[in-house]
Structures are given as C-alpha cells and as structure tokens.
Amino acid sequence: MARSANTSADGDPSAAQAQTRKGSWLWLLTLLLAGAFVASGLISHAPWTASEAQSLAAVESIVESGDYLLPRVDGEPALQSPPLYYMAGAGIAQAAAAYLPAEQAAQYLPAEQAARVATGVFLAIALVFTALFGRAAWRRGDDVPPVGVGAASVLVLIGTLGVIWFGHDMATDSALMAGMAVALYGMALLPRKILWGGFWLGTGAGIAFMAKGPFGPMVLGVAALLLPFLGFPRFGRYLRGIIVAVVFALPWLLIWPLLLQQRDPALYEAWLSANSLDTFLAGVDIKDTASQLEWLRLFLTMAFPAWLLAVLTLVLRPVALFGFAGVRAALVVTLVGWAALVLSDALTPVYGFALLVPLAVIGAGGVLRLPRWFVWPAHWLSALLFGAIAAALWGAWIWLMHKGEPPPVEALGQYLPMDYGFQWQPAVYVTAAVLTLIWLWAVMRFRPSRPAALLAWPAGVVMVWSLVALHQPWIDAAIAEGTLAKAIPAELAPQP
C-alpha cells in the first residue's frame, strides 16, 4: 500500500505536496492534543487513591534520606516494585529544589508535586515511542511508512479508557507502559536494524523490569521466542538482534537486584520470592471461569475503543499479519500479555495498562480503511457524548463562578461537597477553552463520510480531561472528605 501510494505521489507533485501538508497538520494536531492530555491535571492536586499516597511516601523517603536503592513507606521497605519510578520522581523533585529559587519552587513546584512530573515524563515517553512503533510496525521493508499512522497510534491510545483512567496516576504503571512502548519499537526495528532494534528492545525491557518487575520482560521474552515460528523475516538478523537486546537489557536486570542483595540479603530473598516465576505459576487457574469472565469484562472496558479498532483492522486488512512483521509482534505481545493476566491471580488488572500500546498500534493501521457505516455512528456518538459532558462541566463551572456555590443538583451531593466555593484558575481555564474550540472545529470540519471524522473521539477525550482539571479543586475536596473515593472500583485501583 505504501509503495503504491508513494509511486502515485512521485508521479504527481501536487498530490505529494497535499499528502505532506495533511501529514504535517495531523502531526501538529496530535502533538497539541497529546501535550494537553499529558499536562492537564498532572500536578497541583492531592493523591486521589491510596496507591498514589504510597507512591508519594516512597518518593519523599528518597528525597529525605537520599537512599535511591530502597525507598520506604511508613518506615517499611517498598519492595512491591523496583524503584525506577520512585527514583525518577525523587530526582525531579531534587532537581526542582536545586535549580529553582526557593520561593518559586515552594509556590509552583513543591516536592510532592514535582514527584508527579515523573508520571508525565513516562507518559510522554510512552506516547512518543507509540508513534515510532506505529510507523515501524506498518512499514513494509524500506518503503516509506503510511502517512499519519504514527499520529493515529497516539490518538487511538489517548482515547482508550484505560489510559484515561490510569494515565495520570502517580504509580509505577506509567513507567511500565513507557518501557513496553520502547521495547516494542525495538522489536519492530529488528528485521531492518540489528543494533538499534536490539538497543531499544533491551532498553525497553530493562525499563519495564525496573518499573514493575518481571512481568514486562517475561511477556516480551515469550513473544520474542514465538515470533520466529510465525514467519518473522530474516531469522539470522533477528537472532543477532535478540542477542544485542539481551546485552543492553542485562544492566537493567542485574544492577539493582545485586545491589539490593549486597545491602540486605533477607530483603532480596523476600523480593525474589514475591517476584519469581513460581509465584506467577502458582496463581494460574484455568478452571476459574468466573474470574476469567471478569477479566474479559475488564479487557473490553479498559481497552475500548483500541480493541474494537484492532479487530476491525485485522478483519479489513488480514494480510497485514503476513506483510508486516511489526504488526505480528504487536499482536503476539498483546495475546501473551493478556493471557498471563487472565490466567494468573498473582497479577492485577492495572498491568493491562501497558498492553494498550500494541492494541492502539494495530488499530491505527485500519483507521483510514474504516467503512462509512462505522465512521458515521462513531462520529455522532462522539459528538453527542462529549458535547453533553462538556455542556454539563462548563455549565457547572459557570454556575460556580456566578453563584459562588455548586449547582443545586441532589445527585452531586452524593459524590461532591456542596459547600465548595469557586476558585479561579486562569491557565486551566484558557487551556480548557482552547481545547473546547479545537473539539468543536474537529466535529464541524470533518464530516462522517471521512475517516478523519473519528478525530472527534480523541479530541473529545482531551477536552473533557481539561474540563475535569478545571474542577480539580472541587474533586480534591471530595476526596479529602472521603465521598468520591467510594466511587472508585477497588479492583481497578493501581498497585504501587
């Protein structure tokens, strides 16, 4: 497809220029939406879950003690995960304290908020490498990647419910997603570039390990063993690339465990026993159909609409599994990862957060081929759904601004405090207003007969998220009172 498109573009310079302009505008819009999504609601609020409070305590323990090897929570070692996320949060907090004037640091970026920036950094890394992975996965040989497939991968990802739910949490899962995205990009590069493919695959596997333990490397390792049996091209080059990946992954996999063993052998043994393959296999129960059905429900919820777009892509482009090695890698990693989650009780649903990257990349490859019967209802559903949510959130904000108190809606009192007063946030207001205008432009500019009309969904997600940030102080007040926390499903709470 890419070759024929490029051939026609070469024969028609005006068509090539138009295609380039469309790609540039799409990348600009994607960069704007992705940046707004990462930044909106990232800092300046209290922990929203118990997991966030534990992560903050671990980061603060590093800042106070300078011990990057073994963060602590309430004086106890935090061994649920290796400390990469906590190290990054503490490093950003210490850098802010060192390079910003004391008054500005205390006012604009105190330590407890600077630690949150780590989530934004890892989320941004995940989005960048999702775009790179999308371009590499849908690139056949040395052909130029299809226009917009990298941007579409990012837009599908930020529009997925699991990313909306977990993406801004101050938890280690954002680092796991970043590591998986980096590793998948390297896996897609292996058939063409041994050194760089191996470097990114090994580095991503190492980041995933240091973020959440052996889950990420285990999934990537099993997928790497299966891919040669599925016709992965240039097996000799692939094998050399895997060796390079192992070389680059070893420092990440060995240094922290060895240092922990030297520091405290008992703690090392406790961590090793909790993260061993035996622990994972002990939780496997293929007969627990009730649990598996619950996992299916969680998958259909967390991965929507990425899983739907991925299924449609494979239906509309079945030859993609044979012509694109990166697409096969994405599908194998998805299947291996979700199979591990479904079968083992030792894993929690939030691990699925990192597995949204390959689903988004698969789904992005079929966006331009979606039939009108799908685009038309998806566009108007997005317009009606996000239009109604935006109207409600803007209406509540305007009421608060003019009346100084929440709207007299009885249902709100079940979740939000009704004695809350208006707080003016000019930067957040301007951001929300601009993103609302962008969403309105996308809905009106791209008609349902064109696949570009699907922009109404990711643009709507980012708009609504910015409007939630506009009401962030009100949400903080509810969480402080313990009213809103009850609405958060316990089984979906991220684990630190």
SS3 77: strand
Res. 14: pLDDT tops 70: no
What was the pLDDT predicted at 491? 43
pLDDT, position 441: 93
pTM score: 0.90
pLDDT value at 129 more than 90: yes
Q: 468 CB contacts (<8 Å, ≥6 apart)?
A: 40, 41, 393, 475
The answer to whether the CB of 174 falls within 8 A of the CB of 85 is yes
Q: Which residues contact 128 (CB under 8 A, 6 or more apart)?
A: 181
User: Most confidently modeled of 138-142, 159-163, 399-403, 425-429?
Assistant: 159-163
More confident residue, 156 or 298: 156
Q: Quick count: other Cβ atoms within 10 Å of Cβ 491?
A: 10
pLDDT tens-place string over residues 78-124: 888 899 999 999 998 888 877 777 676 666 666 677 778 999 999 99
Instruction: Give the mean pLDDT of 388-417.
Output: 88
* Whether 46 contacts 480, CB under 8 Å: yes
Distance CA 406, CA 418 (A): 6
pLDDT given for residue 25 in this prediction: 85
Work out the end-to-end distance of the chain between its first and last CA atoms, rounded to an integer number of angstroms. Answer: 44
pLDDT for position 285: 63
Kindly tell me if the per-residue pLDDT of 180 is higher than 80. Answer: yes
How high is the pLDDT of residue 461?
A: 96
pLDDT tens for each residue of 244-287:
999 999 999 999 999 999 999 999 998 988 787 766 666 566 66
Question: pLDDT by residue (tens digit) across 151-170?
Answer: 999 999 999 999 998 888 88
Given a cut of 90, whether residue 171 has pLDDT beyond it is: no
d(CA 266, CA 272): 10
CA atoms within 13 A on the CB side of 468: 20
d(CA 334, CA 332) in angstroms, rounded, equals: 5
Q: Quick check: 490 pLDDT over 50?
A: no
Burial 167-177 (b: 16+ CB within 10 A, else e): bbbbbbbbbbb
235-263 helix and 215-226 helix, angle to the nearest 10 degrees: 160
Name the residue with higher pLDDT: 418 or 83: 83
- What residue has token string 């899962």? 173
- Would you place residue 487 in the very low, low, confident or very high pLDDT band (cuts 50, 70, 90)? very low
C-alpha 167: how far from chain center: 6
- The predicted pLDDT at position 3 comes to 42
Contacts of 412 (CB under 8 A, 6+ apart): 406, 418
- Reported as a pLDDT band with limits 50, 70 and 90, residue 347 is confident
The two tokens of residue 49 are 């879950």
The rounded distance, in Å, linking the Cα atoms of 72 and 263 is 14
Q: Report d(CA 213, CA 196) in Å as an integer.
A: 24
- Position 272 scores a pLDDT of 87
Residue with tokens 């680059």: 248
